[in-house]
Amino acid sequence: MKLDRPFPSPNPNHRPLAPLKSEKAVLTQLENAYEAAMQRQARLRNREITNFDREVSQSIFTAGLLAIEDSERGVAQYRVVSAPTGSGKSSYTQAFAKAFIEVHPEGSVLFLVETIQQADDTYREMSALVGQTNVAIWTSAHDSRTSRDTIEHQHGFVPEHRFSVDDLANYPVVIATHRFYMGSRADKATVYRGKARRLTFVDEKAADVTIFDVDTGLIKTVRDRLAEKHTSNLAHVAQLTRLHDHLEAVWQAAAGKASFDEILRAGKIDLTWFNSEQANNYIASSDDQVKNVFGFGRSLAKGFAFLSRYDEYGKGARFVGYEMNMPLRPGTILLDATADIDGVSLLVNNRKHVRVPRVDFSKLTITHIEPDIPNGYTVSQIIKEAKRAKPYAAWIMETIRQNSHPGEQVLAVVHKGLLDHEYLPNDKREFSDPFDLDARKVCFIHWGSGIGSNRWKDATAVFLFGEFHVPKRAMVGTSLGLREEQATASALAPFQTPNPRSSQLRWIREGHLCRHMKQLAMRGNARNIDADGVCGEQRLYVTAEFDRLIGHKDQTFPGAKLISQSKPGTRKDGGVKGLTLLLYSTAAPEITTVELERLTGISFQKNKSRYLANPLVQKAMKETGFTFLAGKGRGNPGRFARCNMLSKAG
C-alpha cells in the first residue's frame, strides 16, 4: 500500500523534510510487511480484503507512522482512529504491530483492551499472527502465580497460556487491560528490554476521569465498618474522622447558594495520608463505598474536589472528587468508533484525529418511540418503585413484540435497575440462551455494558430504552478532570446556573449520550459492513430525546432513515418538537395549518417565520420531503406538502 506522503506530520501546517534514502527504504519495508500481514490475516480468516478494508487499513497505517514519530520525539498525545464499529480497525492494528516489530529491531507494542475476554481473544489472534514466542498477556485470569482452581472459580475458565507480570518486559508484544494500565504495576507492561515501549494501542476509550461521589454519611459508614474490621490498625479510621469532621464544617459554614462550591482547606486539615500506599490499597478495593471514600480523600488532597448542592435552594450536599485515569505516553493510538462525537476532543488538545472512511447507514432505519411513562417522571425515578417499574417493564416487552417478528434475534438495552430487580430477565445476555418472547430470541443488557462486544452482531432489531444519563455534578467533574484543572471558584463559575449554557458541559453531556447511543446501536447487524462501506440491514428503535436524535443523526448515523411512531393527535407536544414529530410520523401527503394547530396547538398565523427558520424543522422537512406553501386568499390556509405531490400537480 502507498501513502500520499512518506512521513505525516503531527502538525498539519508543518511540512516535514524529505526523508533520507535509508528512511525511505525502511518505510517501503514497513509498507510491504504491513501488506503481507494483512494478507496473512485474510487467509487465516478466509476472507477477501475489500476496498473499504483498504481505506481503514490506510487510516491505521497513517496513525501508526504518526505515533512512531511521536514516540521518537517524546510527544505524549493520542493519534485517534474513529473508524466505525465493525470496520476492522482492531485487526489492522494487529497487522501493523506485526509489521512494526519485523522491520524495527527494537519495535515493541502494547495492546490495551477493556475486558479479560477481549484480552484473551487478542492474545490468540496475535499469537497466530506473530507467533507465541513474541507475545505475552497479563490479566488476573492469565497470572501464572495464581492457582488454576482460583482462576476457574473467579473467571469460569483457565487460559491455556499464562504469564508472570515480570515476564512482560521480555516480549515485544504485550496485551493487558485498561484497568491494569491504570494501576500501580503498569510499568511492568510499558517497558521492553529496559526501554519504553514504542507504541501503545488503546482499543476503545477507557473512562478518562473517575468520579468519587460521597456525602458525610457515607464517610461515617465506611469509617465505622473499617473500625470494626481492623481493630489493630486504626490509622485509617482517624484519617476518615478528620475528613468527615472537616467536610461537616465546610457544609455548615457554606453561606452561598451556588450549585457548586470550592472546598477551601486553608491549612485546617492535613490530607497527605490519602496519597500514601495504605490509602492507595483502599482506593483499589472492590468495595465501591470504600473506593469512593478514600478516592475522594486523595482527590481533595490534590485540589480536585468540590461541593455540589442538590438543587438551587441549597438543600443538602454531595462532595465530588475527580481523578484522571489513563496515563498518556508518547506513541499512543486510540481506537474508538465514537471518538469523533464524544465531545472530548473539543475540550482537550491532546487528541489528533486521522482521516477515516465514512460508513453509509442507508440500510439502518431508526424509529423513535415515545416512552410510556407518567408525566413528570424519569425512567430512573420509575424503576425505584415496583408499582411503576412493573408496568414500564411490561410496556418494554410489548413494544419489542409489536416491532419484531418470530424467529428474529433481538437486542434490548435497558436501565440496570430493571435487570437487578428482575422486572426483566437478568440472565438472558447470549443468543446461545436467549429469552423466548413469543418465538423471538431476545437478549437483555444494561446501559454502560456491552461496548466493544460483537456477541449480538446477528441482531436485526436493536431497542434502546431510555438513555445513559449521569448527574450534572459528575459531568462538571469530568469536564474539569479532562483539563486537569483544580476545582477553584473561577473554574466552577461557568457551571453555576441551574441550566448552564456552558459549552464545556454541553459538549460532555451531548457527547456522552451520543457515544453510548451509537456504541450500543452498533452491537447489532449494522456492524457488519460490506465491501462498499454500507452497514448491515438493521432496525433501531429508540426512546431518546427526539430533538437530540434529529440534531445528531447525520453525524452519528449518516444516511439512515428516521421515522417516528407518534400518532398525530394522540400527544399534545407543541413547539418545534411537536412539529418535527408530526412531520416524521405522518403518512399524509399534506398538512394544512388548520390541521397543524388541531394536532399540536401550533399557530402558524403568529409564528410561521420562526418555525420555518428553525434548523431542526428545516432538517425534518428535507428528510421527509415536505415543503411549505403559503395560503392565497381567504379560506385557503397554508400547508406542508410533499414534494412528490407538487411534481404530480405540476
Mean of the per-residue pLDDT values for the chain? 88
Comparing CA positions, the residue from 156, 126, 131 lying closest to residue 141 is 156
Q: Among 350-359, 401-410, 559-568, where is mean pLDDT lowest?
A: 559-568
Quote the cell numbers at residue 519: 456504541
Q: What is the pLDDT of residue 61?
A: 96
Q: Residue 561 carries which DSSP code?
A: E
Give the 3-state secondary structure of residue 260.
strand
Residue range 606-633, pLDDT digits in tens: 888 889 999 889 988 988 889 999 887 7
Other CB atoms within 10 Å distance of the CB of residue 96: 26
| Grid coordinates given for 563 | 421515522
DSSP assignment of 491-538 equals: HHGGG-SSS---HHHHHHHHHHHHHHHHHHHTTSGGG---TTSBPPPE
CA angle 279, 280, 284 (to 5 degrees): 120
Full strand arrangement of the beta sheet holding 590-592: 590-592, 639-642, 626-629
Evaluate if residue 20 carries a pLDDT over 60: no
pLDDT over 90 at 649, yes or no: no
Q: Higher-confidence residue: 17 or 525?
A: 525
Q: Write b or e for each residue in 341-366: b if 16 or more Cβ atoms lie within 10 A of its Cβ, otherwise e.
A: bbbbbebeeebbbbebbebbbebbeb
pLDDT of residue 6: 33
- Find out whether 109 and 101 touch, Cβ atoms under 8 Å: yes
Beta strands per DSSP E along 356-487: 364-368, 409-414, 435-437, 440-446, 461-464
Hey, what's the cell of 601? 396547538
List C-alpha distances in Å: 67 to 64, 80, 96, 199: 5, 10, 12, 7
Q: Which residue has the cell 405531490?
A: 645
Is residue 646's pLDDT more than 90? no
CA distances for 121 relative to 221, 441, 458, angstroms: 41, 26, 19
For residue range 562-582, what is the model confidence (pLDDT) as tens digits? Answer: 999 876 555 556 788 889 888
More confident residue, 105 or 369: 369
Residue with the three cell numbers 456522552? 512
Give per-residue pLDDT as tens, 185-194: 999 999 999 9
CA distance 64 to 333: 7
52, three cell numbers: 473499504
Task: Answer left, alpha or beta for residue 419, where phi above 0 means left and psi between -120 and 50 means alpha.
Answer: alpha
Task: Say yes or no to pLDDT of 8 above 60.
Answer: no
Residue 199: pLDDT over 90: yes
Model confidence band, residue 501 (pLDDT cutoffs 50, 70, 90): low
Q: What is the pLDDT of residues 126-161, one digit of tens each?
A: 999 999 999 999 999 999 999 999 999 999 999 999
Per-residue pLDDT reduced to its tens digit, 535-560: 999 999 999 988 889 989 999 999 99
Task: List CB contacts of 133: < 8 A, sequence separation 6 or more.
Answer: none
> How far apart (Å, rounded) are the C-alpha atoms in residues 282 and 48?
51
Statement: residue 220 has pLDDT above 60: yes
Query: In the structure grid, which three cell numbers stand for residue 113, read together?
Result: 483492551
Kindly list the distances between the CA atom of residue 315 and the CA atoms of 309, 311, 338, in Å, as whole numbers in the listed order.
Answer: 7, 7, 37
CATH number for the segment(s) 364-479+496-565: 3.40.50
Query: If you write DSSP's letter for every residue of 94-161 in order, what string do you get?
Result: HHHHHHHHHHSTT--EEEEESSHHHHHHHHHHHHHHH-GGGEEE-STTSBTTS-HHHHHHHHS---S-
- Tell me which amino acid residue 2 is: K
Q: What does 307-320 look like in DSSP terms, one character per residue? A: EEESSTT--SEEEE
Does residue 1 carry a pLDDT above 80?
Answer: no
Q: Per-residue pLDDT tens for 253-282?
A: 877 678 899 998 756 788 999 999 888 888
Residues 6 or more apart from 305 whose CB is under 8 A from it?
212, 263, 296, 299, 319, 320, 321, 322, 487
CA–CA distance, 223 with 12 (Å, rounded to integer): 54
CA angle 487, 491, 496 (to 5 degrees): 100
Answer yes or no: is pLDDT of 487 > 50.
Answer: yes
- What fold, for 21-206+327-353? Rossmann fold (3.40.50)
Is pLDDT at 288 greater than 60 in this prediction?
yes
The mean pLDDT of 504-523, rounded to a whole number, is 90
* DSSP calls for 315-368: -SEEEEEEEE-----TTEEEE-TTTTTSSGGGT-SSEEEPP-PPPB-TTEEEEE
Q: What is the pTM of this model?
A: 0.83
Question: Contact 619/550 with Cβ under 8 angstroms?
Answer: yes
**Helices 235-253 and 216-229, interaxial angle, to 10°?**
170
Distance from the Cα of residue 521 to its chain's centroid:
12
**230: confidence class by pLDDT, cuts 50, 70, 90:** low
Q: Give Cα separations from 374 to 9, 114, 389, 574 (angstroms).
A: 55, 37, 11, 18
Q: Residue 373: CB partners within 8 Å, gap ≥ 6? A: 379, 382, 392
Q: Which residues pair with 322 in a beta bridge?
A: 211
pLDDT band at 21 (very low <50, low <70, confident <90, very high): very low
Residues in the chain: 650
Residue 229, amino acid: K
Residue 14: pLDDT over 60: no
What is the rounded CA–CA span in Å between residue 333 and residue 69? 12
Mean pLDDT of 229-247: 83
